[in-house]
Amino acid sequence: PGLIDLHNHSVQILFRGDFDGLPLMAWLRETDKLYEILDSQDVFNAARLSFYEKVLCGVTSVLDMEREVDMVANAAREVGIRLFEAYAMFDQVETRKSGLERINDIDKELRSAEKYVRGYMSDPMVDVLLGPVGFPSSSFELMEGSARLARRLGVGIHSHLAENPVNDKLARTLGFAGEFEELEKRGFFGEDVILAHTVYVDDMIIDSMAKYGVSVAHCPSSNAKLGNGVAHINKMIKRGVNVGLGTDGAASNDSESILGEMKIASLLQRGLHRDSTIMDSQVVLDMATVNAGRALGRMDIGSIEVGKKADIVLLDLRHPSMQPSSNLLDNIVFSADCRVVDTVIVSGKIVVRGGKLTVEEERWKKVLKEYQESRKKIESVLMHERQP
């Protein structure tokens, strides 16, 4: 079945390779500054290239989180990928002087979110979710309001949680319960919630996530590259939490490949627990397919069955990395990479054939040229900042 990327920031493909070695909080400060110089065309150019890379790697559906929903949706339509776009919502910023400063009106954020959700309700290839990005950028009031609105509209909620221990500490310093506990008090959690990362959660929180039916988007490469740690995914799965896989974005991962995430997800858990029997090939493949579909509330994707969407990936078994082919499931998880992807079909339409995109050469040249024009803006800013 087609692979599903359960957490992505498509625009960040413009920042790939720029901030290697930075820890999360410093990395966020740098990428936030670059977001500020981008216009709508840059968002489109970046999202389009991100999605092209994904389909070349066998991804047929992606849960993305950006602010400019229309531009990202236009990019997804051009590529032919199935898009779940979480409208990135935030209303405050952390400052050294005052702690947290309000920058956006909560009611306005919620009205914008509702507009986007309603605008895509009849689109067969684009679903819009509410995406309060997480505390402290999203106040607990905004998070609570987002949950109420999402349930009134019947759509999902996507947010970040416990990517690092800093935000939980800040919440407690400001007089709130912990990051998770405060959201729990406000009725945020449910089967319609997908949480990215969840690295810093204890056993009690894991049990609570299972109780509420929350799903987790595990981003092993991004968490490792930024030095955030390793989420206790094996424990979550054993305790009944539904877990999918996400790339997080090309700026923190350097890749758009869920095939790569499957391998590292298994290896990190085996190394962490010193147990080669856990996180076997079937468990990990389920994370990248049917589990992710379940998280999105879409049981019509994630597996190949009569009546489900025709999202299908064909792999080239003649490729050296797929030999011997006596244990294909193991090969898919531990030795396959994007080079073995031969054909990708999304909703019955072929978007990759023979390992190549089904776009004309001149069209592809235009895609690259427009992306590179947007990238030049980034390079100009970085060059200026790095001058002595």
pLDDT digits (tens, 9 = 90+) for 207-245: 999 999 999 999 999 999 999 999 999 999 999 999 999
Q: What φ, ψ does residue 2 adopt, rounded to 5°?
A: -60, 145
- Structural domain boundaries in the chain: 3-386
Q: Which amino acid is at 135?
A: F
pLDDT attached to residue 95:
81
Average pLDDT, the chain: 97
Q: Tell me: the pLDDT tens digits for 135-177?
A: 999 999 999 999 999 999 999 999 999 999 999 999 999 999 9
Q: Rounded distance, CA 387 to CA 186, Å?
A: 47
- At the fourth CATH level, which superfamily is domain 3-386? Metal-dependent hydrolases (3.20.20.140)
Q: Rounded distance, CA 298 to CA 192, Å?
A: 11
| DSSP 3-state of 261 | helix
- CA 341 remoteness from chain centre: 21
Average pLDDT over residues 24-43: 96
Q: Rounded distance, CA 210 to CA 223, Å?
A: 22
**HSE-up of 346 (CA within 13 Å, CB side)?**
28
Average pLDDT over residues 73-95: 97
pLDDT attached to residue 96:
74
222, 248 contact by CB (below 8 A): yes
pLDDT attached to residue 130:
99
pTM for this one? 0.97
Q: Tell me: the pLDDT tens digits for 283-329?
A: 999 999 999 999 999 999 999 999 999 999 999 999 999 999 999 99
**Residue 59 pLDDT grade (very low, low, confident, very high; cuts 50, 70, 90):** very high
Closest by CA to 30, choosing from 15, 42, 9, 45, is 15
Q: Interior CA angle at 281 toward 278 and 287, to 5°? A: 90
pLDDT attached to residue 8:
99
| DSSP 3-state of 107 | helix
233, 265 contact by CB (below 8 A): yes
pLDDT attached to residue 304:
98
Average pLDDT over residues 335-358: 98
Q: Is 70 exceeded by the pLDDT of residue 98?
A: no
Contacts of 111 (CB under 8 A, 6+ apart): none
